A and B are shown apart, each in its own frame.
Chain A
């Protein structure tokens, strides 16, 4: 039987507010356990929440960016369950009246096609703390640094049909929240986390199958693999005559399988009710309008502009706008060297390869935008050839010297002296009488070979344009 899968994602991003959602405590990543927890975070008796409006602004910014309905009156609710890293015994979240309602975002797939994925809602909630089981023999430690940090939980419609789309959706979300500067969204550090809901059904069927939820996946790659393996598992279960149980599962990356979680979450009645310690959050149109007016250029708009302004292909523009930092880097190079096409080639080519190979973020690139721009400038003014430029580029990684200095020191400057080039050309002609004859007979392709020979002789330094021209002149009938 042919199957199709239906996938929905619940993505938590930590909002990068200066302080926690309700307590005013700072929330830096990586601080000593329990050094960022005040009396409210510890849920001491008598303490009360005070809502951090910065989190509201960030949530609304996200909502506006994905064209969502904004809840003008959002209500916090208590979600009740017992767990040692949940100090109050309830999590404050938004159930019926989230700050962000229905919206959507557009993903681009590998074949270049686009698809719109609906976002059901995005609500503000507080993070729990962390239980530490390893360090304490027979006991558990609790770290409440994270407790009360603001999260935005973004829930997609079940409109994703495979792992590739899921990853594209996640990457798009990642890109948007970073463009908006509302979250670091670093999956490895937990500031972006993903729960995946997966179900399968016979192809063409309209009713949804029973879904499972895979919790807390912390990398794009694992999301992809977890979905693949869960789809396969569900197919096997059903094809073996079994039934899918609605449950929470965990992805084991070592074994590349999902396993059932005996979870605190399972079969829990959370007994939601409106949080009486907080008033409903009421915002008006002017609040939304002011946030809209402060919105930065977002990836889709930027991509369109790059295609239009710099005549880039959809693919290149997509790559170059994937992150705000990448786009800023590219734009600086393009504007400064005056050749967007070359700039795009260099950034998407050599530079990206270098960064990927060494797992470096573009903001930490060993070659800053200005230097790359200078390098491209030297190609354009014929100081070096494109090929030599690659050698210079390699040197620039470890050598922070001026681009011109590197070219000079390594003697890579292009030979443009007509006399010298004439010598090279003469040598090539005398060494390759057969090919010269073929060229004279009109076999144009041979010209490339002869130019190549001349370049080889010059160790790449000869100006290929000049070589080309001279060869033509000298082999004319």
Chain B
């Protein structure tokens, strides 16, 4: 049962085949058994999860038939949860208990989903391998010597290893899609502004977006139905009606115009990933789609622009961690400056400090125009590239990552790590929706296909992803990890 999608579990729950309490207990048992090895969860909420499951079963008995009622999920530890520690993967917040729920958390509670716990992540979502977490790296269930991707690595690994039915994540430059690709699951980043950021700890405010990590595109649609919507508490959330994203999942792809960016099929892409994506494209052609090449001429600038804009915003967003009001504070500070310096030196890990330094530098007097302002200009160029491309095509498809999951500790050079997100970053800079779905296995590891839509074209890319999953079973492939049960 635990391997099923949320949509399937929902049926099992409504048919009475299983109760939410039983289901929740099964996941908790698996977490107890396997989390030590995977390190996917930072916090497990056994007691409250069972209580929520019980409440869900009662609601169902009283006629509530909400699709996610009683479905056990995990939240990335970047979402504030009332009364439950929210660490953001950092020593700085290792003891932080928020007195409020993030809007995303609140929405899932209202939908009756059961929170199993909080998942591991790169510290402050800064990383592409989940190795920057203060709580240690997460292992990829497909090969525990490999990384699960990041920053939502805990959520991706937990879904892939069936430690939960579904999970939330956040994506600033690829942090949902790349771990989804590495772990062989579905990971969806909606358009910027579609999901409220209230209660989601900020990394780079103009890029951060929450989204689902799930076992199918259909589940992603069900989750997005719950997550999306205007929130007055987030001024950047969009006042645009939320569609029922499940309604158009079965639309025909006959006549769909797929664009493939030539820049995404160039140097750096491994042959096995390229082959996987080309095979997937043939599958789409069988479904009536046409494939044409599109040009994203400024794509090569996206990583550079991103590593100015994101650290710049982060350098200010992380200023609040000063040891004054909450979180980590150094021992016995002698004065204010000492407290600031040691609290932040000891409380943040190297990657976070590196980005704060880069961002501070980029915003400094005399450098602002050369870095920050220029990066914002490039951002507009990148957005224009997509606008132009979407005149000719309905969706843009390419690889999510140039390669499959790499080994733990393999990438020690920050710039090499930054290039991990070379296909995903531009989508954040442009604010567009993007989804990664499993599209093959290479050398025993899953590879991800990246589908990008127009502004608020969530429904279309979920439809395109779902149709692929209706005709292939890559998304049903499971790692061997934890299969002895």
Contacts and interface: CB of A to CB of B under 8 A. Distances in A.
Q: Name the interface size band of chain A.
A: 20 to 34
A45 B98 contact: yes
B316 A45 contact: no
A273 B205 CA distance: 12
Interface stretch (B196-204, B246-254, B422-430, B466-474): B196-204
B96 A78 contact: no
B9 interface: no
Contact of B322 (A84, A273, A279): A84
B99 interface: yes
Which of A44, A45, A89, A277 has the most chain B CB atoms inside 10 A of its CB? A45
A46 B98 contact: yes
B98 A82 contact: no
Given A39-B100, A84-B336, A271-B360, A45 B320 contact: yes
Interface stretch (A12-20, A48-56, A252-260, A338-346): A48-56
Nearest to A43: B320
Contacts of B320: 43, 45, 87-89
B213 to A, nearest CB: 19
B393 to A, nearest CB: 30
B333 to A, nearest CB: 11
B326 A44 contact: yes
Contact of B319 (A88, A269, A276): A88
A326 interface: no
Interface stretch (B231-239, B259-267, B396-404): B231-239
Contacts, number: 101
Nearest to B366: A269
Interface in A186-212: none
Interface in A68-96: 78, 80, 82, 84, 87-90
Given A46-B199, A87-B325, A276-B313, A271 B235 contact: no
The DSSP consensus for interface residues of chain A is: loop
B306 to A, nearest CB: 14
B298 interface: no
Interface string A29-69: 00000000001001111111111000000000000000000
Greatest chain A CB density within 10 A among B236, B325, B340 is at B325
B236 A50 contact: no
B86 to A, nearest CB: 7
B74 to A, nearest CB: 18
Contacts of B233: 48, 50
B181 interface: no
A82 B360 CA distance: 13
Contacts of A90: 316, 319
B364 interface: yes
A142 interface: yes
A42 B320 CA distance: 9
Contacts of B313: 273, 276
A278 interface: yes
B93 A45 contact: yes
Interface in B330-370: 336, 340, 360, 363-365, 368
Contact of A51 (B205, B235, B319): B235
A45 B325 CA distance: 11
Given A45-B80, A89-B316, A90-B316, A142 B324 contact: yes
B41 interface: no
A278 B198 contact: no
Interface of B: 79-80, 86, 88, 93, 96, 98-100, 102, 197-202, 204-206, 232-236, 312-313, 315-316, 318-320, 322, 324-326, 336, 340, 360, 363-365, 368, 372
14 contacts: A39-B99, A42-B326, A45-B86, A46-B86, A46-B197, A46-B202, A50-B234, A88-B319, A89-B320, A90-B319, A269-B365, A272-B368, A276-B313, A277-B202
Given A46-B98, A276-B236, 12 more contacts: A39-B100, A46-B80, A46-B198, A50-B235, A78-B316, A80-B316, A84-B322, A88-B319, A269-B364, A272-B368, A273-B316, A277-B236
